[in-house]
Structure 1
């Protein structure tokens, strides 16, 4: 999928108002064993993420990044002080119901720290459980904006949808008076992208319209003609599915990609060859890719992950481990102290300087502009610009609980 990251991010954002399932965990987590007063007892961490299912490739990167980050944050010991960090992994397969069951099981066994959530729908179900049971929850690749400010026990180790759209906006600078067209599928997914771009870029003064194609479309020439006729300053493409290569080829052949600035989301490395010759003519908003940042954390992650090549969601796992180590170092087994330790904390992550915003737990972080060069298996991403955490900061929201 050419824009799977963007698809997941905006589909999740469109479901922000969904009612979260509140579940009661078994047992008494405040009394159960995550160390109690014993400074040598293990720290139990439960990771609930996609080991299987549609987002298994994202989950694989997350856990690889987590292991690298844990080693980095503990200087290779996997211990906080004298306490070994014991990690239990559970597969939710991207299914919120499975994630809820796993979270309840872990909390019932005394786990005070949960992390993971590859899928946004999962994160929205686990967050209220964390609040009800007063356990620390650090969401992972899940990009829905609704995780930010969900409650005081919920944090995130990845970016959110608003940061994606602000990165797209950066390609046209001042949006006032600009013309933006969203090209996508005529589906809930496509319409949610239109709504998001209208809210963020339209809210900054741009005129936002859309061209939506039926999900079953295979001939994209008529849509390419509409896009050319619209003469936008920015064409934002949100596309998912097996027709993506044909869509990009048509846009390229019809001259759309050279007529304006065309922006889409850069997904995992495995998706890059699907752009074909069109790839070099598209501008990409990027959460992360290998080479986007060069610092101690990035070097450590690169050295630790299998194959020595970083990908889209390695930083999310790495950052989660850094946050957990910080929480335990400062808070011990007192979850409220863990929360306080994370609020307002600034640190150097794989992406660069990151800050947990105290008022709503947004993770302020750099974002990137990228281009693809080369072709086939030799295609690679090159950094065009790194946007600071301030440049891509989402508006603060009121904490819900």
Structure 2
């Protein structure tokens, strides 16, 4: 095991304090229990707005997963699963409004959400109203263990960071420079790397750059002068291309592995001519896993006219979890929660486990590279990282 996380206590992510009012379930929802004929599942995600592509990826996976887990019937043990879709447009307030509406109508199972801000708001409503909530792609570590009713079907930021550490044989005594923008996103990544890899014995040094900076030569030179063993890049926005170009021009790729997260398919062309020089940590791409469940998901999504992408397995896995919970709990929320805690099953990413203590999803991750594919780029698997090697620290 290259990176150990089991002795790391706590998470750098801090749950936001959200002033959200609760709404009581209707009489119809409180009557639910054993013998329920129909259970409605509220799927709240971004169908429009800046995260719409992520939302569509989740929905494609969810629809395929529901069909897979119910053998195409939409039913389990005589219980019909009805889906109620809602568009949060990436807006936490809108998501909470929809959540209250659904709960008021008797919905006892919620899923979706690609935004961490949205997920935290929905999670608070789930706890206040005692409904089951399976969060999707939202990666904030604060979602893990936030309450007893919230689970996650995707990975979290700490699993990304741990995967980055696997590009070193052993992080102990190694110098890791976090190259990021000086904003909440960059600062959060620097803190996460320090909390996880620093706790494993790495010396972590942040190099944070103002968002208004457009010339990166001096910063690239600072990276070289730091003599790192690994460079972790967390970057977004319009300066991304020029930042990568500067790293190449200044020879940064020659001094240490440069690691960043592999995004969705649409992002593959954003790295320009340095694409094949970057070491990528990856949550998912279609050819990374090699198992029958992933094959079934890819086939189903493509048959429906879609393409598997970064968050497709999060939707598929959410559907698998919900079907299992309904099968075991038959509409009783506490029984559904109990059914998921410690649940191990075969998902598109292989064998995954819902950790009982904090509801993290323990799953394998990937090392990847981009290779030329005609006029574009395609991901290629370098190594699958075992789930236990990148399990996040237990929350709480």
Q: Structure 1 length normalisation: TM-score?
A: 0.92
Question: What is aligned with 2:29?
Answer: 32
Q: Which runs of 5+ in 2 are unaligned?
A: 1-10
Contact 1:26 1:105 in 2 (8 A): no
- Given the alignment of the two structures, is residue 127 of structure 1 paired with residue 111 of structure 2, yes or no? no
Gaps of 5+ in 1: 1-12
Deviations 1:55-106 (A, max 9, x none): 1111010000000000110111111122221101111111111111100000
Which segment drifts farther, 173-182 or 99-108?
173-182
Distance 1:25 1:249 in 2: 52
- After TM superposition, list the pairs within 5 Å mapping 1:337-352 onto structure 2: 337-352=335-350
Q: How far is 1:133 from its partner?
A: 1.0
**Residue number in structure 2 paired with 1:169:** 165
Q: Is structure 2 residue 288 aligned with structure 1 residue 292? A: yes
Residue range with higher mean Cα deviation, 207-216 or 63-72: 207-216
CA contact (8 A) 1:346 1:354 kept: yes
| Deviation (angstroms), 1:44 | 0.4
Q: Distance in 1 between matches of 2:39 and 2:287?
A: 33
8 Å contact from structure 1 (residues 197, 208) kept in 2: yes
Distance, in Å, in 1 between the alignment partners of 2:332 and 2:258 is 49
Could you say if the C-alpha distance between residues 338 and 33 of structure 1 is closer, same or farther in structure 2, counting changes exceeding 3 Å? Answer: same
Query: What is the Cα-based RMSD across aligned positions, in Å?
Result: 1.7
Report SS of the residue matched to 2:29. Answer: coil
What does 1:306-385 correspond to in 2, within 5 Å?
306=302, 307=305, 309-374=307-372, 377-385=375-383
The 2-side partners of 1:260 and 1:309 are apart by 34
1:218 counterpart residue number: 214
Q: In the aligned structure 1, how far is the partner of 2:31 from the partner of 2:165?
A: 45
Distance 1:377 1:75, change over 3 A: farther
Q: For residues 327-378 of structure 1, what are the alpha-carbon distances to aligned partners after superposition, in whole Å with 9 as ceiling and x for unaligned?
A: 0100001110001110111000000110001111111001111000116743
CA distance, structure 2, for counterparts of residue 94 and residue 140 of structure 1: 13
- Contact between 2:15 and 2:120, CA under 8 Å: does it hold in 1? no
* Cα displacement (A) at 1:242: 1.2
Aligned to 2:152: 156
In the TM superposition, residue 26 of structure 1 has moved relative to its aligned partner by 4.2
For residues 240-279 of structure 1, the aligned pairs below 5 Å read 240-279=236-275
In 1: Cα distance, 2:311 partner to 2:375 partner: 20
Q: Is the alpha carbon distance of 1:349 and 1:21 closer, same or farther for their aligned partners in structure 2, counting shifts above 3 Å?
A: farther
State how far apart, in whole Å, the 1-side matches of 2:17 and 2:234 are: 26
Equivalence for 1:7: none
Structure 2 matches for 1:80-99, cutoff 5 A?
Answer: 80-99=76-95
State the alpha-carbon separation in 1 of the partners of residues 342 and 119 from structure 2.
22
In the alignment, the residues of structure 2 paired with residue 143 and residue 34 of structure 1 have an alpha-carbon distance, to the nearest angstrom, of 34
Q: Distance in 1 between matches of 2:299 and 2:250?
A: 43
Once the 2 structures are TM-superposed, how far is the Cα of residue 188 of structure 1 from its aligned partner? 2.2
Contact 1:68–1:301 (Cα < 8 Å) also in 2: yes
CA distance in 2, matches of 1:119, 1:109: 24
TM-score by length of 2: 0.93
1:183-202 equivalent positions in 2, closer than 5 A: 183-202=179-198
Cα deviation, residue 198, structure 1: 0.9
Q: Is the 8 A contact 1:138 1:155 kept in 2?
A: yes
Q: Specify the SS of the correspondent of 2:359.
A: coil
Out of 47, 56, 59, the residue aligned to residue 55 of structure 2 is 59
Q: Distance in 2 between matches of 1:43 and 1:99?
A: 21
Q: Is the Cα contact below 8 Å between 2:15 and 2:143 reproduced in 1?
A: no
2:6 corresponds to which residue? none
State the secondary structure of the residue aligned to 1:181.
Answer: strand
